Structure 1
Amino acid sequence: MIILGFLLGAITFFIHGGEQWDGTPVSPALVMLALLLSLFLIPAAPGSSVEVRGNGEMFPLNGPIWSLFFEYIGNILYALFIRRLPTGALTLLVLLAGGGLASFALFNLSGFGHLGVGWTMADYNLYGGSLRLLFSFSAGLLMTRNFKPVRIRGAFWICALLIVILLSVPYIGDGTAPWKNGLYDAVSILIVFPLLVYLGASGKITDKKSSKLCKLLGDISYPLYAVHYPFMYLFYAWLWGNGVLFSQAWPVALLLFAGNILLAYLLLKFYDEPVRRYLTGKLRRG
């Protein structure tokens, strides 16, 4: 899926003109080089020739893959030492990473008053992304070791509603006191989201409709993650290049939202699952 996502990123890059956001043309050779590096998860340095969009993304052909880059680092750290840490040391790691992440947010090291960091290597983003990785990865492992489920009815729907509410909150403040929004981000990431994970893991699905919905959402989550953003680039280019009004944009946004979900489902059924079955069969026969 990641390979397909990068290929779609290259195709959509050419569709909207093969140029950076400021209009600077990019040679096809550099786009192909960026694609090759991306396939090996080698990030692009800000301002380098292979950072083809010109806004500093680690993976300019498919921006969200930055999180997979950090996930791979997390897996390496887990294999090397995190899994061997005693619970006390793991707790200390969670506290230190959480404290670092809170400080990053409150002191506005992102420069924007939020924790949407890690997608670029510019400024303090690499540090912020590393803190996000260390906290979430180690906190998840700590919860796994100490997990004692609580009984709560409708955990799935409660968690889903709370996530919608959390993500619907607009930027807090007018930008003159960025620590306010940083505080909201820090509380959400350090406290609320771990609680939601705990509640969600405690819940049990009892009706068929909820079970089918959960399975569908789980199945399409990775294909959706892998392929949605190349089409977001096209959407952004259309918005910025044509001075589109909100009344014109929202129907297209809804269509894009639904279209990406449908595409993820189709790729799951006609690409991802068949390829997995084929490769699994080859490995078993080998």
Structure 2
Amino acid sequence: MDNNRLGTKPHYQILDGLRGVAAIIVVFFHLAEPLASGHLDNIVNHGYLAVDFFFLLSGFVIGYAYDDRWSNLTIGGFLRRRFERLQPLVVLGMTLGAVGFYFTDSTIWPLIHTVPVWKLLVVMLIGYTVLPIPLSMDIRGWQEMHPLNSVGWSLFFEYVANILYALGIRKLSNKALAGLVAAAGALLLHFALTNPNGDVAGGWTLNAEHLRIGITRTLFPFFAGLLLSRVAKPTYIKNAFFWCSALVAVVLLMPRIGGATHLWLNGLYDAFCIIIVFPLIVYIGASGVVHNQAEDRICRFLGNISYPLYMTHYVLVYFYVAWISNHKGITLGQTWPYALLTFSGAIILAYASLKLYDEPVRAWLRKKLK
């Protein structure tokens, strides 16, 4: 199937911009994480919920872009288009992670000293496929399914959701899809309230516990986004980008709720944000329009760098985490210049990755995979 026959639809520019806002907060979350004593006192405490927001945005955009095109689109054509969009930066992120692997030397990663080059290359090549590596191939010691680029786990589940959509869920009626979403929401709520950690964070390890978390975190938001794209009737909401950005920031920057004694309260907060607040934000964002050239440029820039930023920033975070771990007892006041340097480097790396690699490679793939 020639992709060009499918045509294109206008982008929701505000939703693109919101993806960038969330991606930036993810970077701050990962920069603040090594300074926290645990999951209760991270100053960007709910940054992990950005992944759930990304899943919901993705489901909404996939439904908007593809739901009415299946008369001219095959499953293979759909998956090829998703491959073209997602895979180049997966490969880049894994490659950069491999290049920097031995240079992120720290006592928190003792395994690095024992990893032969051949094993590093095998892990990198498996990472290119987004397939998770078993714990026996963990070369960093954090029990991650993608130890060269930590965030790769969410792309694995993104692919799972896309494949499920293509293979059959796209055919569900709105009523059947609503039933699936309701069941997935109940599963998510139960997990959030009963998880001993008091949150929904997890999904990055290839074991039964984390696979359950990953599936639970993916099913509701992705397919709720799909349902929302079908049933929502966007209206006009003034200053939608501002209000949505503020809501995203408030949700992700919210301090821990309930403390160590009432963990379920924080789980309830997580579930409420994913099930109620995030769909509301997407609806408001889809109902807004950009009002001037400045807002248009901001949304375009944030949307353009959002995925490159998400997929490449952790390569620099590894160096930052290693530096902090080698300077025990360092304070936030001492750390912020290095955090700012890492953040600035992440933005520059994301933009360079977009212009010098991602856009040219995607254009090449479109020609080769017609």
Length-normalised TM-score, structure 2: 0.72
Counterpart pick for 2:158 among 52, 59, 71: 71
2:261 counterpart letter in structure 1: T
Q: How far apart in 2 are the matches of 1:282 and 1:181? A: 48
For structure 1, the 5+ residue unaligned runs are none
Matched residue SS, 1:242:
coil
Specify whether residues 121 and 283 from structure 1 end up closer, same or farther in structure 2 by C-alpha distance, changes over 3 A only: closer
Is 2:207 the counterpart of 1:207?
A: no
Matched residue SS, 1:170:
coil
Instruction: Point out the more displaced range, 211-220 or 114-123.
Output: 114-123
- In structure 2, the residue matched to 1:34 is 123
Check the 8 A contact 1:106/1:183 in 2, yes or no. yes
Matched residue SS, 2:101:
helix
User: For 1:169-189, what per-residue CA distance to the aligned partner results, in whole angstroms no more than 9, with x for missing partners?
Assistant: 122233232111111111111
- In structure 1, the residue matched to 2:326 is 241
Q: How far apart in 1 are the matches of 2:209 and 2:234? A: 37
Check the 8 A contact 1:20/1:52 in 2, yes or no. no
Q: How far apart in 1 are the matches of 2:170 and 2:367? A: 31
Q: How far apart in 2 are the matches of 1:185 and 1:69? A: 22
Counterpart pick for 1:43 among 128, 132, 147: 132
2:110 counterpart letter in structure 1: G
Is 2:302 the counterpart of 1:217?
A: yes
Check the 8 A contact 1:105/1:179 in 2, yes or no. yes
Counterpart pick for 2:101 among 13, 23, 30: 13
1:117 counterpart letter in structure 2: G
User: For 1:154-183, what per-residue CA distance to the aligned partner results, in whole angstroms no more than 9, with x for missing partners?
Assistant: 000100011111111122233232111111
Check the 8 A contact 1:20/1:54 in 2, yes or no. no
User: For 1:29-53, what per-residue CA distance to the aligned partner results, in whole angstroms no more than 9, with x for missing partners?
Assistant: 221111111111221223x1x2111
Identity %: 46
Q: How far apart in 1 are the matches of 2:109 and 2:348? A: 32
Is 2:354 the counterpart of 1:268?
A: yes
Q: How far apart in 2 are the matches of 1:128 and 1:221? A: 24
* Mapping for residues 82-161 of structure 1, pairs under 5 Å: 82-108=169-195, 111-122=196-207, 124-161=209-246
1:114 counterpart letter in structure 2: D
Q: How far apart in 2 are the matches of 1:166 and 1:174? A: 17
For structure 2, the 5+ residue unaligned runs are 1-88
- In structure 2, the residue matched to 1:253 is 339
Specify whether residues 282 and 35 from structure 1 end up closer, same or farther in structure 2 by C-alpha distance, changes over 3 A only: closer
Q: How far apart in 1 are the matches of 2:298 and 2:208? A: 41
Moved over 4 A (4+): 281-284
User: For 1:6-49, what per-residue CA distance to the aligned partner results, in whole angstroms no more than 9, with x for missing partners?
Assistant: 011112211123x7835232222221111111111221223x1x
Specify whether residues 37 and 281 from structure 1 end up closer, same or farther in structure 2 by C-alpha distance, changes over 3 A only: closer
Q: How far apart in 1 are the matches of 2:141 and 2:342? A: 24
Q: How far apart in 2 are the matches of 1:187 and 1:264? A: 32
Instruction: Point out the more displaced range, 29-38 or 97-106.
Output: 29-38
Q: How far apart in 1 are the matches of 2:208 and 2:255? A: 25
2:119 counterpart letter in structure 1: L
Q: How far apart in 2 are the matches of 1:181 and 1:141? A: 26
Compute the RMSD of aligned alpha carbons.
1.7
Q: How far apart in 1 are the matches of 2:319 and 2:109? A: 15
Q: How far apart in 1 are the matches of 2:283 and 2:296? A: 18
Deviation at 1:282, TM superposition (A): 5.0
Specify whether residues 189 and 20 from structure 1 end up closer, same or farther in structure 2 by C-alpha distance, changes over 3 A only: farther
Check the 8 A contact 1:105/1:115 in 2, yes or no. yes
Is 2:90 the counterpart of 1:2?
A: yes
Q: How far apart in 1 are the matches of 2:207 and 2:259? A: 24
- How many residue pairs match? The answer is 279
Deviation at 1:281, TM superposition (A): 4.6
Deviation at 1:253, TM superposition (A): 0.7
Q: How far apart in 2 are the matches of 1:100 and 1:277? A: 40
Q: How far apart in 1 are the matches of 2:149 and 2:109? A: 18
Check the 8 A contact 1:45/1:58 in 2, yes or no. yes
Deviation at 1:257, TM superposition (A): 1.2
Matched residue SS, 2:110:
coil
Matched residue SS, 2:151:
helix
